[in-house]
Amino acid sequence: MKIGIQTPPEHTDFAALEAVWDAIDELGFAAAFTFDHLVPLNPGARPGGPGGVPDGPQFEGWATLCALAARTTNVQVGTLVSGVTYRHPAMLAKMAVTLDHITRGRAILGLGAAWHEAEHQMYGIDFPGVGERMGRLDEALEVIGRLCRADRDDTVDFDGRYYQLQGAPFDPKPVRPEGLPILVGGSGPRLKGIATRHATIFNSFAAPWEWPEVNADLDERLTAAGRGPGDLMRTAFVFCELSGDPTAEDALVAHFQKNRGGTDEEVRRRVVVGSPDQMAAVLNGYADAGMEMAIMNLRPPYPLEGLERFAREVLPALG
């Protein structure tokens, strides 16, 4: 199983991001991701802020991604994930394909239905109901697919409920002949239906013991869409604490329990903490459940020594 790293560009500076992305690229990881938000998600409460929005700095995800990706030579790169409400799909497609050329064919386009209502309210971004957001995601992926697949000399027309194109050219195309990998992240039956029609990668928070049921559902939906199980790569989003600090590890477990539930034992079977053997056991649990990649959320301050130790002592145990 491959390992990717997500580095939220929050509560940090750009020099720290450069250092951790250089390390990720050099140490044998498969992919590196930012996230796509306007405010931080992790602790640091902003007094009186809407929805308990944390304080502190937050870089824009795509500008940060392009600057960091240009430094790399090995890893695949993307956002995990971009909310469909933030940008028109034609603009997002152009951004992603530009990144694909910057990296010589290593870009992944991650897209979801968006969820951060308080963020939308603060900045005056429309936040329709979940049904419309899912509809927009479905249409956006159709638009992006048509633009990327069209012959170079062709233009694209699209008359959807939410998006319209009239004689739209799209050049250059993605670098790879098979096109741009599309990652859809989230959960719920409608999102899984969208992923199995449009995506090449599916990402979810599910625990190792939950994945067999998720995979069976995805396989059934893929068959209904005229695709096979091998057409959709399965990836797990996994929280981690690599600093080696037991207090920080306990804090992550407590934070996970507060927000997502589970006993202490259950949480420690799905988050990456503890000794190298414990970390490998958790990740091999995901591998046994059919995951081709685990994407670990590495929060600032980014523990470079812990990342190096993980690459040295845990990656080899994952084959």
Residue 130 falls inside a structural domain: yes
Output b/e per residue, 201-236; b: 16+ Cβ within 10 A: bbbbebbbeebeebbeebbebbeeeeeeeeebbbbb
Do 194 and 95 share a structural domain?
Answer: yes
Sign of the dihedral defined by the CA atoms of residues 51, 8, 141, 30, in that order = negative
Do 136 and 87 share a structural domain?
Answer: yes
The half-sphere exposure of 237 on its side-chain side, counting CA atoms within 13 A, is: 21
Sign of the dihedral defined by the CA atoms of residues 200, 33, 299, 128, in that order = negative
Do 120 and 71 share a structural domain?
Answer: no
Residue 71 falls inside a structural domain: yes
Instruction: Tell me how far apart the alpha carbons of residues 221 and 224 are, in angstroms, rounded to a whole number.
Output: 5
Residue 74, amino acid: N
Do 100 and 169 share a structural domain?
Answer: yes
Q: Which of 143, 176, 204 is the last residue of a domain?
A: 204
Helix axes 89-102, 130-149, angle to 10 degrees: 50
pLDDT value for 47: 42
Question: Which stretches of 9-120 are assigned E, i.e. beta strand?
Answer: 31-34, 76-79, 82-83, 107-112
Instruction: Tell me how far apart the alpha carbons of residues 119 and 50 are, in angstroms, rounded to a whole number.
Output: 8
Sign of the dihedral defined by the CA atoms of residues 67, 72, 77, 81, in that order = negative
Residue 74 falls inside a structural domain: yes
Residue 216 falls inside a structural domain: no
Do 87 and 73 share a structural domain?
Answer: no
Number of residues written out for the chain: 319
Do 113 and 31 share a structural domain?
Answer: no
Q: What are 160's two structure tokens?
A: 């959807």
Do 194 and 89 share a structural domain?
Answer: yes
pLDDT value for 126: 97
pLDDT value for 80: 95
Q: What is the DSSP string of 173-209?
A: PPSSTT---EEEE--SHHHHHHHHHH-SEEEE---GG
User: How would you write the pLDDT of the chain (319 residues) with one tens digit per residue?
Assistant: 999 999 999 999 999 999 999 999 999 999 999 999 999 987 644 444 445 677 889 999 999 999 999 999 999 999 999 999 999 999 999 999 999 999 999 999 999 999 999 899 999 999 999 999 999 999 999 999 999 998 888 999 999 999 999 999 999 999 999 999 999 998 899 999 999 999 999 999 999 999 999 999 999 999 999 999 999 999 999 999 999 999 999 999 998 998 889 999 999 999 999 999 999 999 999 999 999 999 999 999 999 999 999 999 999 999 7
Do 137 and 29 share a structural domain?
Answer: no
pLDDT value for 45: 43
Per the DSSP assignment, residues forming a β-bridge with 113 are: none
Do 319 and 284 share a structural domain?
Answer: yes
Q: Which domain holds residue 287?
A: 1-80+221-319
Nearest-CA neighbor of 160 among 173, 150, 149, 145?
Answer: 145
Residue 35 falls inside a structural domain: yes
Q: Find all residues with CB under 8 Å of 62, minimum gap 6, and list them.
A: 34, 36, 79, 82, 95
Do 115 and 68 share a structural domain?
Answer: no
Count structural domains, the chain. 2
Residue 301 falls inside a structural domain: yes
In this prediction the pTM is 0.95
SS3 144: helix
SS3 308: helix
Residue 251 falls inside a structural domain: yes
SS3 159: strand
Residue 128 falls inside a structural domain: yes
Q: Tell me, what CATH number does 23's domain have?
A: 3.20.20.30
Which CA distances in Å does 252 have to 41, 78, 219, 297, 299? Answer: 14, 25, 33, 11, 10
pLDDT value for 51: 54
Instruction: Tell me how far apart the alpha carbons of residues 186 and 112 are, in angstroms, rounded to a whole number.
Output: 7
Do 243 and 305 share a structural domain?
Answer: yes
Do 190 and 86 share a structural domain?
Answer: yes
Beta pairing class for 31-34 and 107-112: unpaired
